[in-house]
């Protein structure tokens, strides 16, 4: 029966952590049952390389040392693998307990639990979290986009990527070569900021518009990564959150609560209508049209024209 | 990834866990299975499966240095803790992904408007300590960030009502009907998924309801005690909105500028059209509430069926246009080729993105959450 991978990885980790001198591949092969059963040298070598990579993903620092005879040996030194002393009180432990359960993405959920388990092993107090007692606060980070994990790894490792991207209004996707800087989740959607090589400029992409696979490109970044990458401000301006002007509308009494909530002034006209002054940012026309006959735009003329234009399109059907 | 449990059995996660387990158990001879499982955030079955693997691990399978760990199902005993050597059982440093996962989540929660100040401070202190302990691997955590949206004042009142077990009175906006209604609710928990919601027992409809905090127009904590019945809460691993099979079907055809509809509405099918648009089939308990979608789409799309929904959108647009007849009509004629937001967007400052069709954020999530709303009306 094939030996489970977790058992093999665990044995390799314990061997590398337990030794004071570098262990050669041959020694490791003879110490770990799964490697003896691996069959050919080739399949052992492949397995061994993969396992080392996996352990490095888990945070293990594995050194490669050549001895006087030219033989390569491996070890995981304690001083480079030890968690520095960390003391957390019960409140801090509870706060981390709450934070560790927010990821809904398998890889990061696993990593967050793993972090908490390492801290537990290091003496993190075990306590109930203040909300957990009655489960009254449940923050969740949603990740529905398939492009998330490859892009997260590419951002982490600073690797260029290629993907097919369909712009908001484009009929077909186009290939984009991007140096990925940062990912940000806003209102439940993920965005990527990075350097678009073909356009020679910074761009922000919405992950749900990436079609097909994200592929890594060899080589390193060519553009400098800014110290601060702002995604949310850009997306918020697309979403019309950064209004630089204001508009005057008439709104039917009792209708359009969200417009009232945003209004800078509301005046009752007394004839079943109110007059509102509201911030005018990108996309306001589409929003106002949703209220149908309950909204009339007074000015500016440009907004009025846009709304009429949209209404005509719907009226024509 | 949607709807799946967060932790499938995975050799990497199991290895990571067993390495910590070894350290943890060494300090705690005779530890209880129940307690260890809780401390590690796993089920007892998961822990038992780890305990099955550990006796096969050690520094060499030949010598007598395999870990002699066993359990009677209640307590866990390690008979040769010396097998590992004192040093090999020390807590391990955090991996880059581990530091990132924990730090990004902690920072996100700490920015939740309305969070209790004591908890926020605890999170900030813990974050700083974890950053320190993680060392250089903490750096990569700045490449991910998450913002939860919430109405701080409403959040704080709901949180207080839950902990004091008191009833709430709210005025709540329903976008599907564009109306504000009053209700009394018994709050159960706060859920943040992009936006923050309160899950509650609604006294008016005698049913479980979920309210988005930024739609609460007014809130008061009442003196009456909250008494929600024992009900099943939402499964948070699933999307908040799940249309039901018996819901009426709506067919929408959109041009390239209306493709966002497929991103925001759960749908049965979205078929490509030759012009780069989509034919989207979705189900909703209350098709009339989609009139707003039809109005919003403008020339970027239309309702194909049901016919009465398409007619009501057309009728609403005609009524609305009537108000513009008169002296200002020339504005409309002056801009014959204007293609609406979509066109403006495409070559605009940030060509890579639009909200839903370059939509206003406020109503774009409005659109999304209206589904939610309708679903709730149905329940």
Lowest average pLDDT, out of B225-229, B310-314, B340-344, goes to B340-344
pLDDT band at B130 (very low <50, low <70, confident <90, very high): very high
Q: Are B212 and B273 in the same domain?
A: no
> Under an 8 A CB cutoff, do B320 and A87 touch?
no
| Domain assignment present for B293 | yes
Within 13 Å, how many C-alpha atoms sit on residue B330's CB side?
A: 1
Q: Are B351 and B314 in the same domain?
A: yes
Using CB atoms, pick whichever of B62, B324, B360 lies closest to residue A239: B360
- What average pLDDT does this structure show over A114-125? 92
Mean pLDDT, all residues of chain A: 89
Q: Are B163 and B189 in the same domain?
A: yes
Most confident of A189-193, B55-59, B64-68: A189-193
Tell me which of B238 and B136 has the higher pLDDT: B136
C-alpha A199 chain-centroid distance: 24
Q: Retrieve residue B153's tokens.
A: 């004042």
Q: Which of B181, B210, B225 is the last residue of a domain?
A: B225
B190 and chain A in contact, CB less than 8 A: yes
With contacts defined as CB-CB under 8 Å, which chain B residues touch A89?
122
Distances (CA, A) of B43 to B22, B31, B96, B233: 17, 15, 26, 20
pLDDT band at A168 (very low <50, low <70, confident <90, very high): confident
Query: What is the maximal distance between C-alpha atoms in chain A?
Result: 97
> Under an 8 A CB cutoff, do B259 and A241 touch?
no
With contacts defined as CB-CB under 8 Å, which chain B residues touch A110?
6-7, 10, 12-13, 16
Task: Check pLDDT > 90 for residue B275.
Answer: no
Q: Show which of residues 211-230 on chain A sit within 8 Å of chain B, judged by CB atoms.
A: none
Q: From the CA of B246, how many Å to the nearest CA of chain A?
A: 26
Q: From the CA of A70, how many Å to the nearest CA of chain B?
A: 24
> Under an 8 A CB cutoff, do A236 and B192 touch?
no
> Under an 8 A CB cutoff, do B6 and A104 touch?
yes
Number of domains in chain B: 4
A46 and chain B in contact, CB less than 8 A: no
pLDDT at position A48: 94
What are the residue boundaries of the structural domains of chain A, listed by start?
Answer: 5-81, 87-141, 148-238, 245-316
Count CB neighbours of B239 within 10 A. Answer: 15
pLDDT tens, position by position, B4-50: 344 446 899 999 999 999 999 988 889 999 999 999 989 999 999 99
Give the whole-angstrom CA distance, residue A208 versus residue A196: 18
Q: Retrieve residue B351's tokens.
A: 């060509």
Q: Retrieve residue A173's tokens.
A: 């996707």
Q: Are B113 and B218 in the same domain?
A: no
Percent of chain B surpassing pLDDT 90? 46
Percent of chain A surpassing pLDDT 70? 95
Tell me which of B330 and A202 has the higher pLDDT: A202
Q: Which of B71, B89, B107 is the last residue of a domain?
A: B89
pLDDT at position B339: 33
ipTM of the complex as predicted:
0.88
Most confident of A191-205, B238-252, B317-331: A191-205
Count CB neighbours of B24 within 10 A. Answer: 23
Rounded to the nearest 10 degrees, what angle do helices A5-18 and B44-53 cross at?
Answer: 60
A278 and chain B in contact, CB less than 8 A: no
Which CATH number fits the domain that encloses residue B158? 2.30.30
Mean pLDDT, all residues of chain B: 80
Q: Retrieve residue B377's tokens.
A: 């009306």
| Domain assignment present for B341 | yes
Q: Are B129 and B156 in the same domain?
A: no
Q: Are B81 and B18 in the same domain?
A: yes
> Under an 8 A CB cutoff, do A254 and B179 touch?
yes
Tell me which of B128 and A20 has the higher pLDDT: B128
Give the whole-angstrom CA distance, residue A265 versus residue A234: 27
- Three-state secondary structure call for residue B6: coil
Using CB atoms, pick whichever of A4, A83, A239 lies closest to residue B91: A83
Q: From the CA of A44, how many Å to the nearest CA of chain B?
A: 17
> Under an 8 A CB cutoff, do A315 and B317 touch?
yes
B331 and chain A in contact, CB less than 8 A: yes
pLDDT tens, position by position, A257-276: 999 999 999 999 989 999 99
Comparing C-alpha atoms, which of B159, B208, B154, B164 is closest to residue B185? B208
| Domain assignment present for B239 | no
Task: Check pLDDT > 90 for residue A119.
Answer: yes
> Under an 8 A CB cutoff, do A121 and B23 touch?
yes
Q: What is the DSSP string of chain A?
A: -PPPHHHHHHHHHHHHHH-SSPEEHHHHHHH-HHHHTT-SHHHHHHHHHHHHHHHHHTT---EEEE-TTS-EEEE--HHHHBPPP----HHHHHHHHHHTT-B-SHHHHHHHHHHHHHHHHTT------TTTTTT-EEE-B----TTHHHHHHHHHHT--EEEEE--TT-SS-EEEEEEEEEEEEETTEEEEEEEETTTTEEEEEEGGGEEEEEEE-SS---SPPPSS---HHHHHHHTT-S--EEEEEEEETT--HHHHHH-SEEEE-SSSEEEEEEEE-TTHHHHHHHTGGGEEEEE-HHHHHHHHHHHHHHHH-
Q: Retrieve residue A48's tokens.
A: 């061994």
> Which numeric CATH code is attached to A148-238?
2.30.30
Q: Retrieve residue A59's tokens.
A: 């945070």
B12 and chain A in contact, CB less than 8 A: yes
Count CB neighbours of A153 within 10 A. Answer: 17
Q: Which domain holds residue B277?
A: 249-378
With contacts defined as CB-CB under 8 Å, which chain A residues touch B334?
305
pLDDT at position B358: 37
> Under an 8 A CB cutoff, do B137 and A137 touch?
no
Count CB neighbours of B306 within 10 A. Answer: 16
According to DSSP, the residues that pair with A150 across neighbouring strands are: none
pLDDT tens, position by position, A40-88: 889 999 999 999 999 999 999 999 998 778 889 999 998 899 999 999 9
Name the helix (H) or strand (E) containing B132.
helix B117-134
Backbone angles phi, psi at A69, to 5 degrees: -85, 5
Lowest average pLDDT, out of B161-165, B228-232, B295-299, goes to B228-232
Q: Which residue of A has its CA nearest to B363?
A: A287
With contacts defined as CB-CB under 8 Å, which chain B residues touch A90?
none
Q: Which of B89, B116, B132 is the last residue of a domain?
A: B89
- What average pLDDT does this structure show over B241-263? 84
DSSP B224: E
pLDDT band at A234 (very low <50, low <70, confident <90, very high): confident
Lowest average pLDDT, out of A6-10, A122-126, B33-37, goes to A122-126
Task: Check pLDDT > 60 for residue B236.
Answer: yes
From 1.10.10, 1.20.950, 1.10.260, 3.30.310, which CATH number describes the A5-81 domain? 1.10.10
- What average pLDDT does this structure show over A271-284? 92
Backbone angles phi, psi at A34, to 5 degrees: -60, -30
Q: Are B303 and B198 in the same domain?
A: no
> Under an 8 A CB cutoff, do B147 and A58 touch?
no
Task: Check pLDDT > 90 for residue B126.
Answer: yes
- What average pLDDT does this structure show over A294-309? 95
Q: Retrieve residue A168's tokens.
A: 């908001």
pLDDT at position A291: 95
Give the whole-angstrom CA distance, residue B69 versus residue B22: 10
- What average pLDDT does this structure show over B99-128? 93
pLDDT at position A313: 93
Please report, for chain B, how many H helices and E strands are present, in that order: 12, 13
Q: Are B266 and B367 in the same domain?
A: yes
Q: Please state the length of chain A.
A: 317
In chain B, at which residue ranges do the beta strands (DSSP E only) sit? 31-32, 69-71, 75-78, 144-147, 166-174, 179-193, 195-202, 207-212, 216-225, 249-254, 269-272, 278-283, 301-305
With contacts defined as CB-CB under 8 Å, which chain A residues touch B98?
59, 111-112, 114-115, 118
| Domain assignment present for B3 | no
| Domain assignment present for B232 | no
Q: Are B185 and B290 in the same domain?
A: no
Which CATH number fits the domain that encloses residue B73? 1.10.10
Backbone angles phi, psi at B4, to 5 degrees: -85, 150
pLDDT at position A2: 58
Q: Are B374 and B266 in the same domain?
A: yes
Please answer whether residues B341 and B358 qualify as being in contact, where contact means their C-beta atoms are separated by less than 8 angstroms: yes
DSSP B96: H
pLDDT tens, position by position, B80-112: 887 777 666 789 999 999 999 999 999 999 998
Count CB neighbours of A193 within 10 A. Answer: 23
Q: Retrieve residue A247's tokens.
A: 């508009």
Q: Retrieve residue A19's tokens.
A: 């030794």
């Amino acid at each position: 029966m094939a030996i489970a991978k977790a058992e093999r990885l665990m044995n390799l980790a314990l061997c590398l952590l337990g030794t004071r001198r570098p262990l050669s591949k041959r020694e490791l092969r003879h110490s770990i049952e799964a490697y003896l059963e691996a069959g050919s040298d080739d399949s052992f070598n492949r397995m061994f390389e993969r396992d080392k990579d996996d352990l490095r993903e888990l945070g293990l620092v594995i050194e490669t040392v050549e001895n006087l005879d030219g033989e390569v040996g491996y070890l995981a030194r304690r001083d480079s693998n030890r968690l520095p002393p960390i003391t957390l009180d019960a409140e801090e432990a509870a706060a981390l307990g709450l934070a560790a359960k927010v990821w809904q993405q398998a890889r990061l959920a696993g990593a967050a639990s793993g972090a908490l388990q390492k801290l537990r092993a290091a003496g993190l107090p075990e306590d109930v979290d203040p909300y957990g007692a009655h489960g009254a606060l449940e923050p969740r980070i949603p990740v529905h986009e398939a492009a998330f994990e490859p892009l997260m790894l590419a951002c982490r490792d600073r690797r260029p990527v290629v993907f097919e991207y369909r712009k908001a209004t484009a009929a077909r996707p186009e290939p984009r070569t991007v140096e990925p800087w940062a990912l940000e989740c806003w209102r439940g959607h993920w965005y990527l900021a990075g350097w678009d090589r073909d356009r020679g400029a910074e761009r922000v992409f919405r992950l749900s518009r990436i079609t097909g696979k994200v592929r890594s490109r060899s080589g390193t970044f060519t553009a400098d990564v800014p110290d601060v990458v702002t995604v949310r401000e850009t997306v918020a301006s697309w979403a019309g959150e950064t209004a630089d002007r204001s508009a005057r509308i008439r709104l039917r009494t009792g209708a359009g609560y969200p417009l009232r909530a945003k209004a800078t002034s509301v005046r009752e006209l007394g004839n079943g209508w109110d007059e509102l002054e509201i911030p005018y940012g990108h996309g306001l026309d589409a929003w106002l049209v949703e209220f149908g006959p309950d909204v009339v735009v007074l000015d500016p003329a440009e907004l009025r024209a846009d709304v009429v234009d949209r209404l005509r399109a719907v009226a024509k059907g | 990834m949607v709807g799946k449990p967060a932790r499938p059995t995975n050799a990497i996660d199991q290895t990571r866990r067993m390495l910590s387990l070894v350290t943890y158990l060494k300090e705690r001879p005779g530890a209880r299975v129940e307690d260890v499982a809780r401390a590690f955030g796993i089920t007892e079955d998961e822990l038992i499966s780890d305990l099955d693997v550990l006796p096969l691990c050690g520094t060499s399978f030949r010598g007598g240095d395999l870990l002699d760990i066993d359990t009677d199902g209640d307590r866990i005993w390690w008979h040769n803790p010396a097998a590992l050597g004192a040093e090999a059982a020390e807590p391990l440093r955090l991996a880059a992904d581990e530091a990132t996962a924990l730090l990004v989540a902690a920072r996100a929660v700490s920015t939740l408007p309305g969070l209790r100040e004591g908890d926020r401070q605890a999170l900030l202190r813990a974050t700083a300590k974890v950053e320190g302990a993680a060392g250089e691997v903490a750096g990569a955590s700045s490449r991910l960030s998450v913002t939860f949206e919430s109405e701080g004042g409403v959040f704080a009142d709901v949180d207080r009502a839950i902990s004091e077990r008191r009833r709430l009175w709210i005025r709540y906006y329903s976008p599907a009907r564009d109306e504000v209604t009053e209700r009394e609710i018994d709050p159960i928990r706060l859920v943040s998924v992009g936006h923050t919601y309160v899950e509650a027992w609604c006294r008016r409809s005698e049913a479980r309801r979920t309210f988005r905090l930024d739609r609460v127009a007014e809130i008061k904590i009442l003196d009456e005690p909250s008494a929600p019945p024992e009900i099943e809460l939402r499964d948070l691993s699933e999307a908040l909105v799940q249309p039901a099979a018996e819901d009426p079907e709506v067919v929408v055809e959109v041009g390239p500028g209306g493709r966002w509809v497929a991103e925001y509405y759960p749908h049965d099918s979205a078929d490509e059209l030759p012009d780069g648009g989509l034919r989207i089939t979705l189900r909703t308990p209350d098709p009339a509430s989609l009139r707003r979608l039809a109005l919003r789409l403008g020339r970027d799309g239309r309702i194909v069926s049901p016919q009465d929904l398409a007619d009501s959108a057309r009728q609403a647009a005609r009524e609305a246009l009537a108000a513009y007849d008169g002296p200002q009509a020339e504005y409309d004629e002056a801009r014959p080729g204007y293609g609406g937001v979509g066109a403006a967007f495409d070559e605009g400052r940030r060509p890579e993105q639009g909200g839903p069709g370059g939509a206003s954020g406020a109503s774009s999530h409005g659109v999304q959450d209206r589904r939610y709303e309708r679903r709730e009306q149905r329940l």
